[in-house]
Structure 1
Amino acid sequence: MNSAIRESPQEKSYVYQLFLAMRFTMEEINRHHDLLPNHTLGFQIYDSCRVLQWELDGTLKILTGQNQGIPNFSCREKPPLAAIIGHSTSTYSILMAHILGLCRYPQISIISTSSLLSDRTQFPSFFRTVPSDAFQSQGLARLVLYFGWTWVGLVALGNDYGQQGIQVIKEEILKAGACVAFTEFILLSRLDKNAPHLIRVIRESTAKVVLVFSTDFDMIPLLDGMLRQNVTGKIFVASEAWSISNVLTVEKYSALLSGCIGFAFYSSKLAGFREYLNSGRLFNNTGEIWAKKFWEETFECKFLDQRNISDSLDNPTKVCTGNEKLGSIQNSYNDVSSLRTSNNIYTAISIIATALHDLQTCQEGRGPFHNGSCADIQNFKPWQLLHYIQNVRVRLSNGREVFFDRNGDLPAVYDIVNWQLGADGMMRQVTVGSYDTAASDGNTFNINAREISNQTDSIDCFKCPWDMWPRLQKDRCIPKTIEFLSYEEPLGATLAAASLFSSMIPVSIFGLLIHYKTTPIVRANNYTLSCLLLGSLSLCFLCALAFIGYPQPEKCLLRQAAFGVVFAFCVSCILAKTFMVVFAFMATKPGSSLRKWTSPRVSYVIILFCSFLQFLMCISWLVLSPPFQENNIQTKPGVIIAECNEGSPTAFWCMLGYLSLLATISFTVAFLARQLPDSFNEAKFITFSMLAFLSVWVSYIPASLSARGKYTVAMEVFAILSSSWALVVCMFVPKCFIILFRPEMNSRGCLMGKATG
């Protein structure tokens, strides 16, 4: 395994940590025999020193296997080259990927983020353990919109990285209905980086938020110019290239960058890594020169050797012994609180090792290659390992599962960091949330914003109580809005009025049937069952009132159970009517033994039995997992949703499922009996009523799952009223129409089909 690591003079400690992260991961894999048993991973490192020509030369040396890079030539002996990790800079990675792609050598970058590298036609063997800038741009746009910033200025590097990234951000912001105040570029070709023009635009713009898609070093002229001209009062949003910069977290920039928020690479902890860094195992054949340079800079000393012994006698510089304790220092070398690039290295090597393990454990005849063949781990081809890397799935030690999509990208995960001023006057980047495009619950953004300070320029903030929320100025807590379906609001008042009005309709029809109970149409359609059905329908309409208003504990406990039992009684009445229609017709045949089934007692037994099953189910629900009132603060930031937790979602859906079962049985029987003679037949009306009833509740399922807060309750109230109206209209409106407006049809002769005209 080979790697190209960028060495920055300003960040030697950080870079050396990356080197040791590679060694740590290799040793961990070689120490555990469950992965690649009887095989040892090794590595070589080429330092390009950020020189493009050296990068090309190093890449060719890797492929050649010699100390001289020769194009299209390889005399590499065993063990075979597995994969290449690098480069850190996208421009260099693109150069490497063009060359390595010709030979199908797997290449995994730990920092390169350019979206161009996702093009599989140009870079067929390129992978990376950092998200593409395309994901970052979409996420930054959503971050801006999350905080309600609708008037935003955009600044980006004037190269491919900046232009492509800022274009996606601009499109996403405009698509969401927000506005862009300006779009300007840092021009790398100019000595001043276009800073004077940028400062003038930022100062004169009314936009308070400036999103900068740049690197930290390229921002320095802009920030220095803003300090000189005292351009303050702007909120900066940072891309990952400078969101955790050590260069910019100096005291002089605190007036500009305090409060900045942005994206950073996902951070994680590596168990045992800090102890490994502080163990002092630095001097061996690999990286000895780097180790000495790091040691001298860290402990401000010099090693004695034959070349500088005379200088050391004249120069009183402290002499390095090699026994200094790394645990006594605290810098970027042994800071493992937020491992980002080191975590990317750990992920890359784990992926390669797992792919090699999959290649090794392939069973001949069941392999992925021609005729089910497998690759030989002692002598495999680059394109063979490439297949396994493309399809690998690795569960890391932190529990996160990683895999590549068809473009060689992992699921995008970022930390959201906030720049806060510490007690020592230095800024620190605090992780306040995350952006995960592959979140299992669909909640890609997770941001903690409920902190305030009641003192101007205070260093520390404190959290608001759970039922309060910081106001816009973040200087005091204000009560959160409590949301529920209230009688005072138009929606709740309308539904309540509809419920009360609707409950009077069955009562009115009941009075009409009493007045005309001796007429043929009322007597022919089972007067007693009709009265029971109308009473239950009136209660069904009134059930909706239990869902409106503040969800008190008693209301939460009983409202679903009451709704379930009342509706079960109502549908049971219709089911009994259905069977009575069928029994009455079949009993008219000579010698039929079904005459005894036409007794009113049979219909009462059906109603009581079907209702009792629902009653028993609801009692079990209330005893084993009763509903309760809760305050939901997760669904909407800054809003408390007062709602009823159903206790057991399974019990709720079983209750609805039982109602649907009764309605389906009634619909099926009525549909089969729809052609019976009209004198006995309510089957047509029952068929339509059950069809409408089922349609309402089937539509309720997706509607309730997509609604949030009070609108979920409103959906159920609407379903209750709609399904009850469906039963009233289909079962009783035709009868009432005949009774009131066509009395000539309300005769025995007409019902028996003997009327004329």
Structure 2
Amino acid sequence: MGVSNLRESFVKKIIVSVVLLLVMLPYSGCKMHSINCSIYDDPIPIPHNFYQPASNSHYSSVPKNYQHILAPVFAVKEINENSQILPNISLGFYILNCYYVARMTYKATLSLISTPHRFIPNFKCDTQSNLMAVIGALASEISANMASIFATYKIPQITYGSFSPVQGDKTLFSSLYQMVPNEAHQYRGVVRLFHHFKWTWIGLFAVDDDNGDRFLQSVIPMLDQNGICYAFILRTAKRTFMEELMVMVFRQLEKYSLLEDTKVSTCFVYGEDPSMATLRMLCFFAGLSGLPPVGKVWIVTSQWDFCATTIQRFWDIESFHGTLSFTVHSKQPPGFQAFVKSIKPSWAKRDGFIQNFWEQAFSCWLKKSSGDLGSKTACTGGEKLEILRSPIFEMSMTGHSYNIYNAVYAVAHALHAICESKSKSRRLVEGGSMAFCNVQPWQLHHFIKNIMFNNSVGESVHFDKNGELIADFDVTNWVTFPNGSFMRVKVGRLAPLAPLGKELTVHDDQIVWHRSFNQVLPLSLCNEYCYPGYSRKKKEGEKFCCYDCAPCPEGMISNQKDMDTCLKCEHDQFPSKNQNQCIPKVLTYLSYKEPLGIILSILSVSLSLIATLVLRIFKKHKNTPIVKANNRTLTYILLVSLIFCFLCPLFFIGHPGKVTCLIRQMAFGIVFSLSLSTVLAKTITVVLAFMATKPGSGMRKWMGKRLTNSLVLSGSFIQVGICMVWLITSPPFPDKDMNSLKEEIIVECNEGSASMFYCVLGYMGFLATVSFTVAFLARKLPDSFNEAKFITFSMLVFCSVWLTFVPTYLSTKGKYVVAVEIFSILSSSAGLLVCIFSPKCYIIILRPELNTKEHLIRRQK
């Protein structure tokens, strides 16, 4: 930007020159053009070696890039009409084309620091135009070539396209500022997008030059770290002349089969020019060669734009329907479309680009053109820009033009800020006008770095410490139409500075996919998903994104697609039948509400009532010989203990509690020990009674209640002692068994000490064995009411039940363990009751004639 150093006392207008290096004709050999609009009273002279009118030679250009010229024109027009920015100062500018050729870029750059009309680098004797800032360019290669010179002179350069420093070294370009955030943010956003749609098998497209190499070096490690694989890398043709480019595209048709892989639905394209043109050529010539069209989801960066050269204006863009791109967040400046509509071939006096643009856009010749019109018609000059299809020209401001628009404002605000700071120490000249400060280019850096303003649409513009614009990206969905036009639809947002994991927002329902997907979310996978119930198993020799699906092992689940390993359920859950979810286990215990619990409860009460009835019968007939014959007291004790034995199972039914867990095994052990001790006492009484009847026997002294009471009490108290030790050392307590059953949590009483439990059972077994042995030996003793044989049968039943109980108890799980113990208690108790008392009840009730003293004497004789 140049500043005229005017020293007159009355300054009505000061002109500042803003230089914009702009790519306009990337594939042509046409001459450079310059533009200086008629809205300025004092046009800046253009170097003669950089201005040459457009010729009538036939060449191809990109008409859409003409909007990059209109954007600074519109911005400068707004600034000059705004009294709040640079009052009494008019901005002027001129534009140069570099043709994507390094030699021309360097020549154009050096001319800006030379005297106008004299190409003498590093020598400037003109004071009318001092270069202050440069805006450009779109391609990072051109920006780097420019920056290598401007950095030496500390001239601020603002690039409006993505910029990739050589090997990431930004210190080589200390004078450069970017209107696009760091490209690495876009790469991370693309990875987030892949994760969002679960695309893990993709194709990579990179231009075959240094920029493409840097792109791959940055992206491939990022993909690997995030579990994404590339199926192929296709290097597209680098920027060159059209003829050479077409030859290179034809060579790439040999690799077209890579695009026919239906597993690869998504391709990530490094979007810097000439990626779009190359891909369009590849698809176009593939169709001419009879190759099938491909439907892909193209993922591209902010450099991408749907533009067409004049020879591509009628080419189909159906292949790019549904493309997703990351574009710098932008809005439409008010009045821009109206400004564009006012553009005519004669609108500016020195616009060297308008003629070429108009002829290329409308495929006609302006009247001032010389030579044969050929098949083209003459341009009327009244053609409407709004009728052009989108790839040729857009009426709304594109992202790149928006960046240029903001760049012009950034320079203007920086100049305004530096002038305001200097005016505080300057004298006011006569008439109150402010003498314009003498600004050097290097002084602008501080103000540009710290500039912060809101543009005409309310968007904040400011740079970070690296000179990169702080802004979000829009996720744009490109929707194409049969007539060759397209529409941009914003379907999401990428906020690089947002918290981790929340950077990307995508509205899936608003996205339009390529027509080959029938509006169904495309799959881009090496193989089908491993659905819940399966886990991924690596394929030998393949990339990690290619795998087999293996069923989850027993007891494990996978509840998401493509899980690397199956998971174990929580201890209170179990896997579903399909092993795709964990189901909460059900609490289970022997309840009074379930059929088994009801049956056992009824059986327990019924048997206790029967035992009570027997006791009542014996008490009623207590003076009969059959009751008196075998120690009536022991009979009563045995019947009472049996009643309690039948009631013990009620402690085992219902939700186990702390009290019931302490009582039930103790009560069971003590009551049963009492019963068995009583049975043993009755058996020994029978033996002693027979031995005492022999002449001279000394057993008479053992006869009586003292012996029987001692046997009953001692037998019971030993069990009581065992239970007391159990309670003191390791008492039973309520517990939940999570592991024994697959689908249930067993609510049970933990015995505390299994050895003590088996001590209780062992002692009962000992009493039963002794009773059985004594009874078995005494079974044939002569006696009318000899109980020994009945006790033998009862003990045989008892021992059989409890010998069967032990293996059954150990092999049963859940509430059925309790049911087995209850059944053993009831059946063994019932065996004692039936075997011992049923013959006596039969005689007492049904054969009372046998229950007489005469019958007893007769039997003895």
Q: TM-score, normalised by structure 2?
A: 0.48
Query: 2:407 maps to which residue?
Result: 348
Query: 1:199 maps to which residue?
Result: 256
Whole-angstrom CA distance in 2 between matches of 1:103 and 1:275? 39
Residue type of the alignment partner of 1:230: P
> Residue 244 of structure 1 is aligned with which of 298, 306, 309?
306
Deviation at 1:409, TM superposition (A): 1.1
- The answer to whether the Cα contact below 8 Å between 1:243 and 1:263 also exists between their aligned partners in 2 is no
SS in 2 for 1:437: coil
Aligned residues: 467
Matches within 5 A, 1:597-746: none
Deviation at 1:29, TM superposition (A): 0.5
1:277-336 Cα offsets, whole Å, 9 max, x none, are 11246536654332233344455554445x84xx68x98975555455556666667633
Query: 1:391 maps to which residue?
Result: 450
Query: 1:264 maps to which residue?
Result: 327
Query: 1:131 maps to which residue?
Result: 181
Whole-angstrom CA distance in 2 between matches of 1:124 and 1:347? 20
Residue type of the alignment partner of 1:106: P
Question: Quick one: structure 1 residues 364 and 29, their matched pair in 2 at CA, closer, same or farther if it must change by over 3 Å?
Answer: closer
Whole-angstrom CA distance in 2 between matches of 1:281 and 1:184? 43
Whole-angstrom CA distance in 2 between matches of 1:364 and 1:442? 48
Whole-angstrom CA distance in 2 between matches of 1:249 and 1:431? 25
- The answer to whether the Cα contact below 8 Å between 2:135 and 2:157 also exists between their aligned partners in 1 is yes
- The answer to whether the Cα contact below 8 Å between 1:413 and 1:434 also exists between their aligned partners in 2 is yes
Residue type of the alignment partner of 1:238: V
Whole-angstrom CA distance in 2 between matches of 1:407 and 1:119? 11
Whole-angstrom CA distance in 1 between matches of 2:19 and 2:348? 16
Query: 1:512 maps to which residue?
Result: none
Whole-angstrom CA distance in 2 between matches of 1:244 and 1:304? 30
Q: TM-score, normalised by structure 1?
A: 0.54
- The answer to whether the Cα contact below 8 Å between 1:137 and 1:165 also exists between their aligned partners in 2 is no
Residue type of the alignment partner of 1:289: G
1:262-282 Cα offsets, whole Å, 9 max, x none, are 333444201101111112465
> Residue 23 of structure 1 is aligned with which of 73, 78, 82?
73
Deviation at 1:229, TM superposition (A): 3.4
Question: Quick one: structure 1 residues 253 and 24, their matched pair in 2 at CA, closer, same or farther if it must change by over 3 Å?
Answer: closer
Residue type of the alignment partner of 2:297: I
Query: 2:537 maps to which residue?
Result: none
Deviation at 1:10, TM superposition (A): 5.0
1:19-49 Cα offsets, whole Å, 9 max, x none, are 1211110010011111111211111222223
Whole-angstrom CA distance in 2 between matches of 1:330 and 1:427? 8
Query: 1:229 maps to which residue?
Result: 291
Q: Which has the higher helix share?
A: 1
Query: 1:86 maps to which residue?
Result: 136
Matches within 5 A, 1:32-71: 32-71=82-121
Deviation at 1:166, TM superposition (A): 2.4
Is residue 213 of structure 1 aligned with residue 213 of structure 2?
Answer: no
Query: 2:346 maps to which residue?
Result: 283
Deviation at 1:89, TM superposition (A): 2.3
1:236-284 Cα offsets, whole Å, 9 max, x none, are 3233444534478966452x43333233344420110111111246536
Whole-angstrom CA distance in 2 between matches of 1:456 and 1:218? 22
SS in 2 for 1:121: helix
- The answer to whether the Cα contact below 8 Å between 2:284 and 2:315 also exists between their aligned partners in 1 is no
Deviation at 1:407, TM superposition (A): 2.1
- The answer to whether the Cα contact below 8 Å between 1:244 and 1:264 also exists between their aligned partners in 2 is no
Question: Quick one: structure 1 residues 302 and 455, their matched pair in 2 at CA, closer, same or farther if it must change by over 3 Å?
Answer: closer
Query: 1:6 maps to which residue?
Result: 23
Question: Quick one: structure 1 residues 10 and 136, their matched pair in 2 at CA, closer, same or farther if it must change by over 3 Å?
Answer: farther
Question: Quick one: structure 1 residues 145 and 245, their matched pair in 2 at CA, closer, same or farther if it must change by over 3 Å?
Answer: farther
Whole-angstrom CA distance in 1 between matches of 2:498 and 2:401? 23
Query: 1:161 maps to which residue?
Result: 211
Determine which structure has more spread, i.e. the larger CA radius of gyration: 2
Matches within 5 A, 1:321-332: 322=381
Whole-angstrom CA distance in 2 between matches of 1:304 and 1:192? 38
SS in 2 for 1:397: coil
Is residue 336 of structure 1 aligned with residue 395 of structure 2?
Answer: yes
Whole-angstrom CA distance in 2 between matches of 1:182 and 1:304? 51
Deviation at 1:133, TM superposition (A): 2.7
SS in 2 for 1:14: helix
1:462-507 Cα offsets, whole Å, 9 max, x none, are xxxxxxxx77789xxxxxx9xxxxxx9999999999xxxxxxxxxx
Residue type of the alignment partner of 1:192: M
Question: Quick one: structure 1 residues 298 and 203, their matched pair in 2 at CA, closer, same or farther if it must change by over 3 Å?
Answer: closer
- The answer to whether the Cα contact below 8 Å between 1:134 and 1:165 also exists between their aligned partners in 2 is no
Deviation at 1:68, TM superposition (A): 2.9
Deviation at 1:405, TM superposition (A): 1.9
SS in 1 for 2:83: coil
Deviation at 1:139, TM superposition (A): 2.0
Query: 2:122 maps to which residue?
Result: 72
- The answer to whether the Cα contact below 8 Å between 2:64 and 2:394 also exists between their aligned partners in 1 is no
Query: 2:592 maps to which residue?
Result: none
Whole-angstrom CA distance in 1 between matches of 2:258 and 2:362? 45
Deviation at 1:160, TM superposition (A): 1.9
Residue type of the alignment partner of 1:195: Q
Whole-angstrom CA distance in 2 between matches of 1:168 and 1:225? 31
Matches within 5 A, 1:381-530: 381-422=440-481, 424=483, 428-438=487-497, 443-450=502-509
Whole-angstrom CA distance in 2 between matches of 1:32 and 1:207? 53
Residue type of the alignment partner of 1:219: L
Whole-angstrom CA distance in 1 between matches of 2:515 and 2:298? 20
Whole-angstrom CA distance in 2 between matches of 1:126 and 1:454? 38
Is residue 103 of structure 1 aligned with residue 166 of structure 2?
Answer: no
Whole-angstrom CA distance in 2 between matches of 1:158 and 1:424? 32
- The answer to whether the Cα contact below 8 Å between 1:126 and 1:408 also exists between their aligned partners in 2 is yes
Whole-angstrom CA distance in 2 between matches of 1:261 and 1:282? 35
- The answer to whether the Cα contact below 8 Å between 2:386 and 2:395 also exists between their aligned partners in 1 is no
Residue type of the alignment partner of 1:109: T
Residue type of the alignment partner of 2:306: I
- The answer to whether the Cα contact below 8 Å between 1:235 and 1:260 also exists between their aligned partners in 2 is yes
- The answer to whether the Cα contact below 8 Å between 1:192 and 1:221 also exists between their aligned partners in 2 is no
Whole-angstrom CA distance in 2 between matches of 1:235 and 1:109? 29
The alignment-based identity, stated in percent, is 26
Question: Quick one: structure 1 residues 143 and 65, their matched pair in 2 at CA, closer, same or farther if it must change by over 3 Å?
Answer: farther
1:177-226 Cα offsets, whole Å, 9 max, x none, are 23333334336499435525533444468433332225112334543565
Whole-angstrom CA distance in 1 between matches of 2:158 and 2:446? 14
- The answer to whether the Cα contact below 8 Å between 2:147 and 2:175 also exists between their aligned partners in 1 is yes
Query: 2:671 maps to which residue?
Result: none
Whole-angstrom CA distance in 1 between matches of 2:278 and 2:303? 10
**Aligned residues: CA RMSD:** 4.3
Query: 2:695 maps to which residue?
Result: none
